[in-house]
Amino acid sequence: MQTTRVQNEPPDRRFAVDTTFVLFFLALELGLSMTEFCVANIISLLTLAAFVTVPYLLPAVGEKPAFAGWAFGRTLIALFGVALGFAFKQSLGGVLPEAFRFLPMTLLILSSMMSCYMQLFSMMRFRLVK
């Protein structure tokens, strides 16, 4: 008779941290571009909603946290990013130079490149067989 040992691993605290940065800068860019209700903003909102939920499906090393709490935290980050982007837009031209308008998109591109690299590295990394 063989017994199996179940180890209760705590949820991985670093789960999807790289995509959280992309989510924040995407929300910042959305808040910056929010002027009126148009089709482009609807598409941006759908993309933001996808970035809130879809990274949960990425492969993880440890146990994933509960989806409801995880998605709620990411929703709060997205809402904070949109509010900060809207405030950032209001400060352009007065407090900040107009050239800073491109900073959120630049940071979004850099964070998405790093996130892509980290996800590909984690999927292609060799794992030793026990």
pLDDT (0 to 100) of residue 38: 82
pLDDT (0 to 100) of residue 6: 46
Whats the size of the chain, residue-wise? 130
Q: Per residue in 23-34, pLDDT tens?
A: 999 999 999 888
Cα–Cα distance measured from residue 84 to residue 53, given in angstroms and rounded to the nearest whole number? 21
pLDDT (0 to 100) of residue 3: 52
pLDDT (0 to 100) of residue 96: 85
Cα–Cα distance measured from residue 105 to residue 31, given in angstroms and rounded to the nearest whole number? 12
pLDDT (0 to 100) of residue 93: 85
Nearest CA to 15 among 66, 76, 75?
A: 66
127 CB-near residues (< 8 Å, 6+ apart): none
Cα–Cα distance measured from residue 43 to residue 47, given in angstroms and rounded to the nearest whole number? 6
Q: Per residue in 74-90, pLDDT tens?
A: 999 999 999 999 999 99
Q: What percent of the chain has pLDDT over 90?
A: 37
Nearest CA to 102 among 33, 24, 27, 20?
A: 33
DSSP letters along 104-128, please? HHHHHHHHHHHHHHHHHHHHH----
Residues of the chain with pLDDT under 70: 1-15, 126-130
pLDDT (0 to 100) of residue 95: 87
pLDDT (0 to 100) of residue 74: 93
